[in-house]
Amino acid sequence: MAWIALSPPEEQLQAWCWQALRFTPRVAVEQGCVLLEVASTLRLWGGLRALLQQLLQPGALQPCRAWARGRTAPVALALLLLKCQDRAPPEQVPDGLPLDTLAAAAAALAVLERTGCRSFGALRALPRAGVARRFGAALLEALDQAYGERPAAYDWCRLPPVFDQNLELPAIATAAPELLWTGQRLLDALHTWLRAGQRGVLALELEWTHDLRRIDGRSLPRLDRLPIRTARPTQDMAHLRRLLLEHLQHRHLAAPANHLRLRTLEVAPLPNASASLLPEERQQGEPLHALVERLAARLGADRVLVPRLVADHRPECMQRWVPAQEAQQGGAPTAEELAPDAALYPAWLLREPLPLDMDRQGQPVFHGPLQLLARPRRVDGAGWWDLDAAQPAMRDYRLARSATGGLLWLYSERPHSGQAEPRWFLQGAYA
């Protein structure tokens, strides 16, 4: 058995429990301290020294006042109490531990000290039957647990399924960006919660409480909310903070705020990056989706557009520009799903197909004669779902080589009612 006892700041006791849950599922709170049973996870973290190095690096949390380790939980807790009281640990552990560090001995401490019994070892040397009659069996049970002769039962901490915390603002906030001063504390707690559960946040909500109920005779809602959504699960608090700041700069507080609440709306498992023995390229800068989200928050969702594939057999209709936040919700088909030969399409399409002139032999020309290559590929469909379509798409696509323009992508419209001969159009070009 191996136990670690931590003495965190009182206001961050829950956050330190979440921090400890990253390293072992057996975390308990006793006497205002955090206890960790790490015997079953030492190998996973590379030994006790490596585990302690990571555990005691809290990041945004306030550091622990002291820590101690022992073979059993009562021994680790007793050594921690001695450190907090600036008392030297005994040479022999657990026999030399003072009795005032054993919570179960508090009621009998005065009587035991008058008899000269001041340590765990001295108490253990007394007749067990007499100690049980005089002080109760609970004292002997706690002593046996300290020596590892009897198992101890604890109420293990559990990670809540949803992060939801509420803090009172230290001062009334009159502008939306002022909320982030306290919001940073909530983001730090959210980061600890996400790391403990190995999850990333996809959507969260910032909520503030209005200090006033009426302004100028107009009733105000009690709460106001700001939802935030990301494209991928993330633990990057710097990115979430920038998103909140960009959105809050466009918000006007209906009234001063006095409380702030942060809660998660959607989370997802966040797999760890796989380690490799081979050197890998490391991406520099922020990811593209993070840049798009930040620009959309700053400029407006309808001003940041991204291309999205659309299920349509007409090449000019296979791609549409949609708001970035709408595209990030997924559901778009891939190019392979749209057309098996989509990889053969040119990388550049004209915004509008360009009508081509015809020579005397009825062949299309574009800055000179064109050499038609390969056999035609037929596209036939009315596009009945598209109300803006002027006429059915009945086309034969061909590759053509131009002496000046290189490799081009053409199509001819097959004759329909009111049209004598097919018309040719230039739709794309290959690099």
Whether residues 139 and 228 fall in one domain:
no
Query: Of the given ranges (69-73, 244-248, 303-307, 391-395), which has the lowest mean pLDDT?
Result: 391-395
Percent of the chain with pLDDT over 90: 39
Q: Residue 82 is inside which H or E element, if any?
A: helix 73-84
Residues 239 and 229 sit within 8 Å (Cβ to Cβ)? no
- Asked if residue 341 belongs to a domain, the reply is no
Task: Find, among 146, 151, 150, the residue nearest to 123 by Cα.
Answer: 146
What is the number of structural domains in the chain? 3
56-70, 161-175, 209-223: which has the highest mean pLDDT?
Answer: 161-175
Phi, psi at residue 392, to the nearest 5°?
A: -60, 150
Predicted pLDDT of residue 391: 58
pLDDT band at 359 (very low <50, low <70, confident <90, very high): confident
pLDDT at position 137 is 92
> Is the CB of residue 395 less than 8 Å from the CB of residue 401?
no
Cβ atoms of 120 and 146 within 8 Å: the answer is yes
Confidence of residue 176 (pLDDT cuts 50, 70, 90): confident
pLDDT in tens, 262-303: 999 999 998 766 666 666 665 666 777 788 888 888 888 788
**Any domain includes 194:** yes
Residue 221 lies in a domain: yes
Residue 30, token pair as written in the block: 């006793």
> Which pLDDT value is given to residue 255?
87
Q: Average pLDDT of the chain? A: 85
Cα dist from 133 to 136, 139, 176, whole Å: 6, 11, 65
What pLDDT does 164 receive?
94
Q: List the one residue out of 192, 201, 166, 268 whose CA is nearest residue 18.
A: 192
User: Exposure pattern of 411-420 as b/e (b: 16+ CB <10 Å)?
Assistant: bbbeeeeeee
Does the pLDDT at position 331 exceed 70? no
Which residue's entry shows tokens 């097959």? 414
Q: Does the pLDDT of residue 189 top 60, yes or no?
A: yes
Specify if 374 maps to a domain: yes
Domain finish residue from 206, 238, 269: 269
381 or 403: which leads in pLDDT = 403
Residues contacting 281, CB < 8 A, separation 6+ = none
Domain boundary among 269, 296, 327: 269
Res 389: pLDDT: 53
Are both 108 and 204 inside the same structural domain?
A: no
- Residue 30 pairs with which residues in a beta bridge? 33
Using the predicted structure, report yes or no on whether residue 120 has a pLDDT greater than 90: yes
Question: Is 317 inside any structural domain?
Answer: no
Q: What is the pLDDT of residue 415?
A: 67
Q: Are residues 25 and 60 in the same domain?
A: yes
pLDDT at 44 over 60: yes
For 228-264, give the DSSP string.
EEEEEEE--HHHHHHHHHHHHTT---SS-EEEEEEEE
Instruction: Answer whether residue 321 is part of any domain.
Output: no
Is 90 exceeded by the pLDDT of residue 74? yes
Q: What CATH number is given to the structural domain containing 187? A: 3.30.1490.100
What pLDDT sits at residue 277? 63
Q: Are residues 139 and 208 in the same domain?
A: no
Domain edge (last residue) among 269, 300, 316: 269
**64 lies in some domain:** yes
In this predicted structure, what is the pLDDT of residue 334?
60
C-alpha triplet 61, 66, 67: angle, nearest 5°: 100
Whether the pTM exceeds 0.85: the reply is no
pLDDT in tens, 88-104: 999 999 999 999 999 99
pLDDT at 59 over 80: no
pLDDT of residue 193: 93
Rank 99-108, 329-338, 419-428 by mean pLDDT and report only the highest.
99-108
Helix (H, G, I), strand (E, B) or coil at 144: helix
| C-alpha–C-alpha distance, residues 107 and 139, integer Å | 10
pLDDT > 70 fraction of the chain, expressed in percent and rounded: 88
- Taking alpha carbons only, the member of 52, 79, 87, 48 closest to residue 146 is 79
* The two three-digit tokens of residue 202, written as one number: 């996809």
pLDDT at residue number 421: 74
In a domain, 312, yes or no: no
Residues 117 and 183 in one domain: no
32 and 133 inside one domain: yes
Q: Residue 365 sits in which domain range?
A: 346-429
Nearest CA to 370 among 395, 396, 399, 411?
399
